[in-house]
């Protein structure tokens, strides 16, 4: 049963590291997750600045919070006492 504890701890750590690297590589948004990103454009003729929205997903801090909560729960499961079966007479 020691293997199960080690496996759960490694799974918790690996999942948190993978989510953090995905968050960093996808834009490291420090707000909520977005599925549309505003881009500021400049019209050369009228010299007016306007906003265009690009359809792409940028994970935010809520994704990290969910992953950290899951990792903590998975890690905390390893501290629960294992049920031992009593030998039958």
- Residue 88 included in any domain: no
- Based on the number of CB atoms within 10 Å of its own CB, is 59 exposed (0-12), middle (13-18) or buried (19 or more)? buried
Q: How confident is the model at residue 79 (pLDDT cuts 50, 70, 90)?
A: confident
The count of structural domains within the chain is 1
| pTM for this entry | 0.73
Q: Give me the domain span that covers residue 72.
A: 2-79
Kindly state the percentage of the chain with pLDDT values over 90. Answer: 64
- Residue 19 included in any domain: yes
Report CA dihedral (7, 8, 14, 20) to the nearest 10 degrees: 180
- Residue 38 included in any domain: yes
Q: How far apart are CA 24 and CA 60, in angstroms?
A: 10
Residue 35: is its pLDDT beyond 70? yes
Q: Are 12 and 19 in contact (CB under 8 A)?
A: no
pLDDT of residue 27: 83
Mean pLDDT computed over 65-70: 95
The residues, ordered by sequence, that sit 6+ positions from 88 with a Cβ below 8 Å of its Cβ are: none
- Residue 86 included in any domain: no
Residue 84: is its pLDDT beyond 80? no
């Amino acid at each position: 049963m020691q293997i199960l504890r080690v496996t759960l701890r490694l799974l918790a750590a690996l999942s948190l590291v993978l989510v953090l690297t995905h968050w960093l590589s996808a834009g490291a948004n420090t707000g909520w997750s977005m599925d549309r990103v505003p881009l500021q454009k400049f019209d050369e003729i009228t010299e007016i600045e306007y906003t265009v929205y690009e359809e792409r997903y940028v994970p935010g801090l809520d994704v990290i919070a969910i992953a950290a909560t899951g990792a903590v729960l998975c890690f905390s499961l390893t501290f629960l006492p294992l049920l031992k079966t009593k030998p039958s007479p």
